[in-house]
Amino acid sequence: MYKTMCFKDEFWYLCDSETMLPPLLSFRYCEYKLRKNAFSTQRAELQAVQFFYEFWFDKFSETLDYSLYKSGFQDIELLIDELEPFWEYLVAGRKLNLHVLFSGNVNTDTKKLTTHSTRCLAVIRFIKCLIDIYVDSRYTNQSKTEILAHRKLLKMKLETPRKSFQRYIRDSGSQTSTLHSLSADQCVDFSKVIRPSTKKAQNPLNPQVSQPIQIRNYLMWLLMLRYGLRVGEIQLLQKISFKPYMTDSSKFLMIVQNLEDNNDTRSQKPSIKTMQSTRKIDITREHYNLIFGVYYNKSRPTDEQCGHDFIFASSVKPYRPLSYRGILKEFERTAKSFKKNFPAHFNIDYSDAITANITPHWLRHTWAFSTLAAIYSQTSDKYINTKAVKVSGIMEDSIEQLRVLGGWSLKSRMPQHYGRRFIQNQANMSLLNIFNSTLYDNLIDEDIEF
Protein backbone atom coordinates (compact mmCIF):
# COMPACT_ATOMS: atom_id res chain seq x y z
CA MET A 1 0.00 0.00 0.00
CA TYR A 2 2.93 2.33 0.67
CA LYS A 3 6.34 2.73 -0.90
CA THR A 4 9.33 5.04 -0.55
CA MET A 5 10.07 7.16 -3.61
CA CYS A 6 12.75 9.62 -4.67
CA PHE A 7 11.89 13.01 -6.11
CA LYS A 8 14.36 14.02 -8.85
CA ASP A 9 17.35 12.92 -6.76
CA GLU A 10 16.44 15.72 -4.32
CA PHE A 11 14.75 13.93 -1.42
CA TRP A 12 12.95 10.74 -0.44
CA TYR A 13 9.31 10.63 0.58
CA LEU A 14 6.65 8.07 1.47
CA CYS A 15 3.91 7.57 -1.12
CA ASP A 16 0.47 5.94 -1.00
CA SER A 17 0.58 3.51 -3.94
CA GLU A 18 -3.17 3.96 -4.58
CA THR A 19 -3.53 7.74 -4.47
CA MET A 20 0.14 8.36 -5.43
CA LEU A 21 0.18 11.11 -2.81
CA PRO A 22 2.36 11.33 0.30
CA PRO A 23 0.59 10.63 3.63
CA LEU A 24 0.34 13.82 5.69
CA LEU A 25 2.26 12.78 8.82
CA SER A 26 5.15 11.25 6.90
CA PHE A 27 5.37 14.30 4.66
CA ARG A 28 5.45 16.63 7.65
CA TYR A 29 8.27 14.50 9.02
CA CYS A 30 10.20 14.90 5.75
CA GLU A 31 9.57 18.62 5.68
CA TYR A 32 10.34 19.24 9.34
CA LYS A 33 13.25 16.89 9.90
CA LEU A 34 14.40 14.43 7.23
CA ARG A 35 15.31 16.83 4.42
CA LYS A 36 18.20 18.01 6.57
CA ASN A 37 19.64 14.50 6.71
CA ALA A 38 21.84 12.56 4.31
CA PHE A 39 20.19 10.99 1.28
CA SER A 40 20.72 7.42 2.47
CA THR A 41 19.44 8.29 5.95
CA GLN A 42 16.21 9.67 4.50
CA ARG A 43 15.49 6.42 2.71
CA ALA A 44 16.28 4.21 5.72
CA GLU A 45 14.17 6.28 8.10
CA LEU A 46 11.22 6.40 5.72
CA GLN A 47 11.32 2.65 5.16
CA ALA A 48 10.83 2.16 8.89
CA VAL A 49 7.97 4.68 8.87
CA GLN A 50 6.49 2.83 5.88
CA PHE A 51 6.42 -0.43 7.85
CA PHE A 52 4.75 1.39 10.76
CA TYR A 53 2.07 2.74 8.41
CA GLU A 54 1.46 -0.77 7.04
CA PHE A 55 1.33 -2.25 10.54
CA TRP A 56 -1.20 0.38 11.59
CA PHE A 57 -3.50 -0.26 8.64
CA ASP A 58 -3.29 -4.03 9.11
CA LYS A 59 -4.22 -3.76 12.77
CA PHE A 60 -6.84 -0.99 12.78
CA SER A 61 -8.15 -1.11 9.19
CA GLU A 62 -7.63 2.63 8.88
CA THR A 63 -4.68 4.80 8.02
CA LEU A 64 -2.36 6.22 10.65
CA ASP A 65 -3.12 9.73 9.43
CA TYR A 66 -6.87 9.23 9.90
CA SER A 67 -6.46 7.77 13.39
CA LEU A 68 -4.52 10.81 14.54
CA TYR A 69 -6.79 13.19 12.65
CA LYS A 70 -9.84 11.95 14.62
CA SER A 71 -8.22 13.19 17.83
CA GLY A 72 -7.24 16.54 16.37
CA PHE A 73 -3.66 15.22 16.11
CA GLN A 74 -3.40 15.10 19.90
CA ASP A 75 -3.62 11.41 20.78
CA ILE A 76 0.04 10.76 20.06
CA GLU A 77 0.19 8.54 23.13
CA LEU A 78 -1.73 5.95 21.11
CA LEU A 79 1.25 5.67 18.75
CA ILE A 80 3.62 5.18 21.68
CA ASP A 81 1.45 2.36 23.05
CA GLU A 82 1.73 0.53 19.73
CA LEU A 83 5.54 0.44 19.63
CA GLU A 84 5.75 -2.93 21.40
CA PRO A 85 3.12 -4.52 19.10
CA PHE A 86 5.03 -3.02 16.15
CA TRP A 87 8.20 -4.76 17.35
CA GLU A 88 6.32 -8.07 17.53
CA TYR A 89 4.95 -7.40 14.04
CA LEU A 90 8.49 -6.98 12.67
CA VAL A 91 9.87 -10.03 14.49
CA ALA A 92 6.99 -12.14 13.14
CA GLY A 93 7.94 -11.22 9.58
CA ARG A 94 5.57 -8.23 9.35
CA LYS A 95 2.54 -10.33 10.27
CA LEU A 96 -0.08 -9.73 12.94
CA ASN A 97 -0.75 -13.43 13.46
CA LEU A 98 0.37 -14.10 17.05
CA HIS A 99 0.52 -17.83 16.29
CA VAL A 100 3.55 -17.09 14.11
CA LEU A 101 5.21 -15.18 16.92
CA PHE A 102 4.93 -17.97 19.47
CA SER A 103 5.18 -20.99 17.19
CA GLY A 104 8.96 -20.96 17.15
CA ASN A 105 9.09 -20.12 13.44
CA VAL A 106 10.49 -16.67 14.12
CA ASN A 107 13.88 -15.52 12.88
CA THR A 108 15.81 -14.56 16.01
CA ASP A 109 19.10 -13.96 14.23
CA THR A 110 21.05 -11.22 15.98
CA LYS A 111 21.44 -9.18 12.80
CA LYS A 112 17.70 -9.39 12.14
CA LEU A 113 16.89 -8.27 15.67
CA THR A 114 19.33 -5.39 15.29
CA THR A 115 17.58 -4.36 12.06
CA HIS A 116 14.17 -4.52 13.74
CA SER A 117 15.48 -2.43 16.65
CA THR A 118 16.93 0.15 14.27
CA ARG A 119 13.55 0.50 12.57
CA CYS A 120 11.72 0.83 15.89
CA LEU A 121 14.15 3.55 16.94
CA ALA A 122 13.48 5.30 13.62
CA VAL A 123 9.74 5.21 14.37
CA ILE A 124 10.45 6.70 17.80
CA ARG A 125 12.23 9.60 16.10
CA PHE A 126 9.21 9.95 13.82
CA ILE A 127 6.89 10.11 16.85
CA LYS A 128 9.16 12.64 18.57
CA CYS A 129 8.90 14.84 15.52
CA LEU A 130 5.10 14.58 15.60
CA ILE A 131 5.17 15.62 19.27
CA ASP A 132 7.20 18.74 18.39
CA ILE A 133 4.84 19.59 15.52
CA TYR A 134 1.39 18.87 16.93
CA VAL A 135 1.75 19.38 20.69
CA ASP A 136 1.74 23.08 20.00
CA SER A 137 -0.46 26.12 20.48
CA ARG A 138 -1.50 25.88 16.81
CA TYR A 139 -3.31 22.61 17.47
CA THR A 140 -4.42 22.82 21.11
CA ASN A 141 -5.99 25.30 23.51
CA GLN A 142 -3.63 24.38 26.32
CA SER A 143 -1.49 27.02 27.97
CA LYS A 144 2.21 27.22 27.21
CA THR A 145 3.02 25.58 30.55
CA GLU A 146 0.60 22.74 29.87
CA ILE A 147 1.99 22.23 26.36
CA LEU A 148 5.56 21.99 27.65
CA ALA A 149 4.49 19.57 30.37
CA HIS A 150 2.56 17.45 27.85
CA ARG A 151 5.56 17.29 25.52
CA LYS A 152 7.84 16.28 28.36
CA LEU A 153 5.45 13.55 29.51
CA LEU A 154 5.14 12.04 26.02
CA LYS A 155 8.89 12.05 25.45
CA MET A 156 9.43 10.44 28.85
CA LYS A 157 7.03 7.67 27.83
CA LEU A 158 9.18 7.10 24.74
CA GLU A 159 12.29 6.50 26.86
CA THR A 160 11.27 3.02 28.05
CA PRO A 161 10.83 1.50 24.57
CA ARG A 162 13.83 3.47 23.30
CA LYS A 163 16.13 1.93 25.91
CA SER A 164 14.68 -1.51 25.20
CA PHE A 165 15.37 -1.29 21.47
CA GLN A 166 18.72 0.43 21.96
CA ARG A 167 20.01 -2.63 23.78
CA TYR A 168 20.31 -4.59 20.54
CA ILE A 169 22.06 -1.71 18.79
CA ARG A 170 24.54 -1.35 21.64
CA ASP A 171 25.33 -5.06 21.67
CA SER A 172 25.85 -5.21 17.91
CA GLY A 173 27.89 -2.01 17.89
CA SER A 174 30.52 -3.58 20.15
CA GLN A 175 31.47 -6.12 17.49
CA THR A 176 34.44 -5.16 15.34
CA SER A 177 33.40 -7.77 12.77
CA THR A 178 30.88 -5.27 11.39
CA LEU A 179 33.78 -3.33 9.85
CA HIS A 180 33.60 -5.12 6.53
CA SER A 181 36.64 -5.08 4.26
CA LEU A 182 38.11 -7.04 1.38
CA SER A 183 40.83 -9.60 1.94
CA ALA A 184 44.03 -9.63 -0.10
CA ASP A 185 42.75 -12.19 -2.61
CA GLN A 186 39.40 -10.43 -2.85
CA CYS A 187 41.19 -7.14 -3.59
CA VAL A 188 43.15 -8.72 -6.42
CA ASP A 189 40.00 -10.17 -8.03
CA PHE A 190 38.05 -6.97 -7.44
CA SER A 191 40.77 -5.07 -9.33
CA LYS A 192 40.26 -7.44 -12.26
CA VAL A 193 36.61 -6.37 -12.45
CA ILE A 194 37.15 -2.61 -12.22
CA ARG A 195 40.07 -2.48 -14.66
CA PRO A 196 38.98 -0.60 -17.81
CA SER A 197 39.25 -2.04 -21.29
CA THR A 198 42.13 -0.86 -23.48
CA LYS A 199 42.94 -0.92 -27.19
CA LYS A 200 45.03 -4.02 -26.63
CA ALA A 201 42.80 -5.90 -24.20
CA GLN A 202 39.09 -5.81 -23.54
CA ASN A 203 37.83 -6.49 -20.04
CA PRO A 204 34.66 -8.61 -20.24
CA LEU A 205 34.35 -8.56 -16.44
CA ASN A 206 33.71 -4.81 -16.33
CA PRO A 207 29.92 -4.26 -16.22
CA GLN A 208 30.14 -1.02 -18.20
CA VAL A 209 30.44 -1.10 -21.99
CA SER A 210 31.49 2.53 -22.49
CA GLN A 211 35.23 3.02 -22.00
CA PRO A 212 34.90 6.61 -20.65
CA ILE A 213 32.53 5.35 -17.94
CA GLN A 214 34.85 2.43 -17.20
CA ILE A 215 37.75 4.86 -16.72
CA ARG A 216 35.68 7.22 -14.57
CA ASN A 217 34.42 4.43 -12.30
CA TYR A 218 37.86 2.84 -12.10
CA LEU A 219 39.34 6.10 -10.82
CA MET A 220 36.60 6.53 -8.21
CA TRP A 221 37.09 3.02 -6.81
CA LEU A 222 40.87 3.46 -6.99
CA LEU A 223 40.75 6.67 -4.92
CA MET A 224 38.57 4.93 -2.32
CA LEU A 225 40.78 1.85 -2.12
CA ARG A 226 44.17 3.55 -2.40
CA TYR A 227 43.56 6.79 -0.47
CA GLY A 228 40.51 5.98 1.68
CA LEU A 229 38.17 8.59 0.22
CA ARG A 230 34.50 8.55 1.19
CA VAL A 231 31.75 8.85 -1.42
CA GLY A 232 31.10 12.45 -0.35
CA GLU A 233 34.79 13.28 -0.70
CA ILE A 234 34.82 11.84 -4.22
CA GLN A 235 31.94 14.20 -5.02
CA LEU A 236 33.87 17.22 -3.70
CA LEU A 237 36.91 16.79 -5.94
CA GLN A 238 37.40 19.62 -8.44
CA LYS A 239 40.15 20.59 -10.83
CA ILE A 240 41.53 23.01 -8.26
CA SER A 241 41.69 20.20 -5.67
CA PHE A 242 45.01 19.04 -7.16
CA LYS A 243 48.22 21.04 -6.89
CA PRO A 244 51.83 20.21 -7.90
CA TYR A 245 54.86 20.46 -5.63
CA MET A 246 57.59 22.90 -6.64
CA THR A 247 60.33 20.77 -5.09
CA ASP A 248 59.08 17.26 -5.87
CA SER A 249 57.67 16.37 -9.27
CA SER A 250 56.97 12.75 -8.31
CA LYS A 251 53.77 13.58 -6.42
CA PHE A 252 50.82 15.96 -6.24
CA LEU A 253 48.74 17.28 -3.35
CA MET A 254 45.05 16.34 -3.35
CA ILE A 255 42.97 18.66 -1.13
CA VAL A 256 39.56 17.40 0.04
CA GLN A 257 37.50 20.19 1.57
CA ASN A 258 34.08 21.84 1.49
CA LEU A 259 33.18 23.97 -1.51
CA GLU A 260 33.60 27.73 -1.29
CA ASP A 261 31.47 28.64 -4.31
CA ASN A 262 27.93 28.01 -5.56
CA ASN A 263 28.97 26.11 -8.67
CA ASP A 264 27.43 22.85 -7.40
CA THR A 265 23.96 22.30 -8.90
CA ARG A 266 23.28 19.10 -6.93
CA SER A 267 20.29 19.32 -4.60
CA GLN A 268 22.03 17.06 -2.08
CA LYS A 269 25.35 18.87 -1.88
CA PRO A 270 28.27 16.91 -0.43
CA SER A 271 29.97 18.36 2.62
CA ILE A 272 32.58 17.63 5.25
CA LYS A 273 31.21 17.77 8.78
CA THR A 274 34.35 18.44 10.83
CA MET A 275 37.59 20.36 10.48
CA GLN A 276 39.49 17.06 10.86
CA SER A 277 37.79 15.76 7.71
CA THR A 278 39.55 18.39 5.60
CA ARG A 279 42.31 16.27 4.15
CA LYS A 280 45.54 16.97 2.29
CA ILE A 281 46.75 13.79 0.65
CA ASP A 282 49.82 13.12 -1.47
CA ILE A 283 49.04 11.14 -4.62
CA THR A 284 51.50 9.70 -7.10
CA ARG A 285 52.23 11.27 -10.47
CA GLU A 286 50.90 8.10 -12.11
CA HIS A 287 47.51 8.54 -10.45
CA TYR A 288 47.47 12.24 -11.29
CA ASN A 289 48.17 11.45 -14.94
CA LEU A 290 45.34 8.89 -14.97
CA ILE A 291 42.92 11.43 -13.52
CA PHE A 292 43.80 14.32 -15.82
CA GLY A 293 45.80 12.91 -18.72
CA VAL A 294 43.49 9.97 -19.39
CA TYR A 295 40.09 10.86 -17.93
CA TYR A 296 39.56 14.59 -17.36
CA ASN A 297 41.19 15.89 -20.54
CA LYS A 298 40.28 13.05 -22.90
CA SER A 299 37.30 10.94 -21.73
CA ARG A 300 35.22 13.35 -19.65
CA PRO A 301 32.93 15.93 -21.33
CA THR A 302 34.64 19.33 -21.51
CA ASP A 303 34.15 22.02 -18.88
CA GLU A 304 32.11 23.98 -21.41
CA GLN A 305 29.79 21.02 -21.94
CA CYS A 306 29.51 20.31 -18.22
CA GLY A 307 29.31 23.87 -16.94
CA HIS A 308 31.47 22.88 -13.95
CA ASP A 309 34.95 21.59 -13.12
CA PHE A 310 34.07 18.75 -10.77
CA ILE A 311 36.24 15.78 -11.60
CA PHE A 312 33.54 13.13 -11.82
CA ALA A 313 30.60 14.02 -14.04
CA SER A 314 27.55 12.18 -15.32
CA SER A 315 27.90 10.61 -18.76
CA VAL A 316 24.43 11.86 -19.73
CA LYS A 317 23.56 15.42 -20.72
CA PRO A 318 23.68 17.97 -19.15
CA TYR A 319 26.70 16.23 -17.56
CA ARG A 320 26.00 17.27 -13.97
CA PRO A 321 28.39 16.38 -11.14
CA LEU A 322 27.77 12.79 -10.05
CA SER A 323 25.19 12.51 -7.29
CA TYR A 324 25.57 10.31 -4.21
CA ARG A 325 22.86 8.01 -5.50
CA GLY A 326 24.50 7.87 -8.92
CA ILE A 327 27.81 6.71 -7.43
CA LEU A 328 26.03 4.03 -5.39
CA LYS A 329 24.26 2.75 -8.50
CA GLU A 330 27.55 2.47 -10.37
CA PHE A 331 29.13 0.61 -7.46
CA GLU A 332 26.18 -1.80 -7.26
CA ARG A 333 26.80 -2.80 -10.88
CA THR A 334 30.48 -3.39 -10.11
CA ALA A 335 29.67 -5.42 -6.98
CA LYS A 336 27.19 -7.61 -8.91
CA SER A 337 29.81 -8.35 -11.57
CA PHE A 338 32.36 -9.19 -8.87
CA LYS A 339 29.94 -11.66 -7.27
CA LYS A 340 28.96 -13.17 -10.62
CA ASN A 341 32.51 -13.71 -11.86
CA PHE A 342 34.15 -14.67 -8.55
CA PRO A 343 31.49 -16.68 -6.68
CA ALA A 344 34.12 -18.45 -4.56
CA HIS A 345 34.55 -15.29 -2.48
CA PHE A 346 30.85 -15.53 -1.53
CA ASN A 347 30.87 -19.23 -0.66
CA ILE A 348 29.76 -19.45 2.97
CA ASP A 349 31.69 -22.69 3.40
CA TYR A 350 34.77 -20.49 3.85
CA SER A 351 35.39 -18.51 7.02
CA ASP A 352 36.42 -15.38 5.13
CA ALA A 353 33.48 -15.45 2.72
CA ILE A 354 31.66 -12.22 1.88
CA THR A 355 28.23 -12.56 3.47
CA ALA A 356 26.91 -9.01 3.15
CA ASN A 357 26.31 -6.59 0.30
CA ILE A 358 29.54 -4.84 -0.70
CA THR A 359 29.33 -1.05 -0.47
CA PRO A 360 31.82 1.71 -1.36
CA HIS A 361 32.70 2.06 2.32
CA TRP A 362 34.20 -1.44 2.23
CA LEU A 363 37.00 0.07 0.15
CA ARG A 364 37.66 2.71 2.81
CA HIS A 365 37.72 0.01 5.51
CA THR A 366 40.18 -1.99 3.39
CA TRP A 367 42.38 1.08 3.00
CA ALA A 368 42.23 1.76 6.76
CA PHE A 369 43.29 -1.75 7.76
CA SER A 370 46.18 -1.88 5.29
CA THR A 371 47.32 1.65 6.15
CA LEU A 372 47.27 0.90 9.88
CA ALA A 373 49.37 -2.20 9.20
CA ALA A 374 51.89 -0.11 7.25
CA ILE A 375 52.06 2.59 9.94
CA TYR A 376 52.45 0.01 12.69
CA SER A 377 55.25 -1.74 10.81
CA GLN A 378 57.13 1.51 10.17
CA THR A 379 56.68 2.69 13.75
CA SER A 380 57.92 -0.63 15.11
CA ASP A 381 61.02 -0.59 12.93
CA LYS A 382 61.76 3.01 13.86
CA TYR A 383 61.28 2.92 17.61
CA ILE A 384 61.68 -0.62 18.88
CA ASN A 385 65.17 -0.95 17.41
CA THR A 386 66.20 2.32 19.06
CA LYS A 387 64.27 1.50 22.27
CA ALA A 388 62.79 4.99 22.14
CA VAL A 389 59.27 4.05 23.26
CA LYS A 390 57.41 1.23 24.92
CA VAL A 391 55.87 -1.39 22.67
CA SER A 392 52.44 -0.66 24.18
CA GLY A 393 52.61 2.89 22.85
CA ILE A 394 53.29 1.92 19.25
CA MET A 395 49.66 1.02 18.51
CA GLU A 396 48.39 4.23 20.14
CA ASP A 397 50.76 6.28 18.02
CA SER A 398 49.75 4.33 14.89
CA ILE A 399 46.05 4.85 15.59
CA GLU A 400 46.50 8.61 15.92
CA GLN A 401 48.42 8.77 12.65
CA LEU A 402 45.60 6.83 10.99
CA ARG A 403 43.08 9.30 12.45
CA VAL A 404 44.86 12.20 10.76
CA LEU A 405 45.21 10.41 7.43
CA GLY A 406 41.59 9.24 7.39
CA GLY A 407 40.06 12.55 8.42
CA TRP A 408 38.27 11.30 11.57
CA SER A 409 37.28 13.75 14.29
CA LEU A 410 38.91 13.62 17.71
CA LYS A 411 35.68 12.17 19.15
CA SER A 412 35.40 9.38 16.58
CA ARG A 413 36.27 5.90 17.83
CA MET A 414 36.64 4.41 14.36
CA PRO A 415 40.48 4.37 14.47
CA GLN A 416 40.29 2.41 17.77
CA HIS A 417 37.95 -0.12 16.14
CA TYR A 418 40.50 -0.68 13.39
CA GLY A 419 43.22 -1.02 16.02
CA ARG A 420 41.30 -3.67 17.95
CA ARG A 421 40.76 -5.74 14.84
CA PHE A 422 44.41 -5.36 13.87
CA ILE A 423 45.53 -6.63 17.26
CA GLN A 424 43.12 -9.56 17.11
CA ASN A 425 44.16 -10.58 13.62
CA GLN A 426 47.79 -10.01 12.65
CA ALA A 427 47.03 -11.74 9.38
CA ASN A 428 46.00 -8.36 8.02
CA MET A 429 49.71 -7.78 7.48
CA SER A 430 49.45 -10.06 4.45
CA LEU A 431 47.14 -7.46 2.91
CA LEU A 432 49.93 -4.92 3.17
CA ASN A 433 52.27 -7.23 1.22
CA ILE A 434 49.67 -7.57 -1.53
CA PHE A 435 49.17 -3.79 -1.65
CA ASN A 436 52.90 -3.28 -2.01
CA SER A 437 53.23 -5.73 -4.88
CA THR A 438 50.58 -7.67 -6.77
CA LEU A 439 47.53 -5.49 -6.13
CA TYR A 440 48.94 -2.25 -7.43
CA ASP A 441 50.59 -4.03 -10.30
CA ASN A 442 47.09 -5.10 -11.30
CA LEU A 443 45.59 -1.69 -10.65
CA ILE A 444 48.14 0.44 -12.44
CA ASP A 445 49.89 -0.29 -15.70
CA GLU A 446 51.91 2.59 -17.09
CA ASP A 447 51.81 1.01 -20.53
CA ILE A 448 48.01 1.14 -20.84
CA GLU A 449 47.02 2.71 -24.14
CA PHE A 450 43.58 4.34 -24.10
User: Could you tell me which residues are beta bridge partners of residue 280?
Assistant: 255
pLDDT score at 176: 42
- Provide the residue type at 326 as one letter: G
pLDDT score at 5: 86
pLDDT score at 448: 57
Q: Which string of DSSP letters, residue by residue, matches 411-435?
A: T--HHHHHHHHHHH-GGGHHHHHHH
pLDDT score at 171: 54
Write out residues in the chain with pLDDT < 50, as ranges.
99-104, 173-177, 427-429, 439, 446
Query: Whole-model pTM?
Result: 0.63
Return the DSSP state at 318. Answer: T
Distance (Å, whole) CA 269 – CA 259: 9
Show Cβ contacts of residue 41 under 8 Å, excluding neighbours closer than 6 positions.
34
Region of 407 on the Ramachandran plot (φ > 0 left; ψ -120 to 50 alpha; else beta): left
pLDDT score at 223: 95
pLDDT score at 56: 93
Exposure of 190 in the CB half-sphere (CA atoms within 13 A): 31
pLDDT score at 177: 46
Tell me which residue of 49, 2, 6, 51 sits closest to 268, measured CA to CA. Answer: 6
**Secondary structure of residue 110 in the 3-state scheme:** helix
Tell me which residue of 383, 442, 430 sits closest to 181, measured CA to CA. Answer: 430
Return the DSSP state at 422. Answer: H
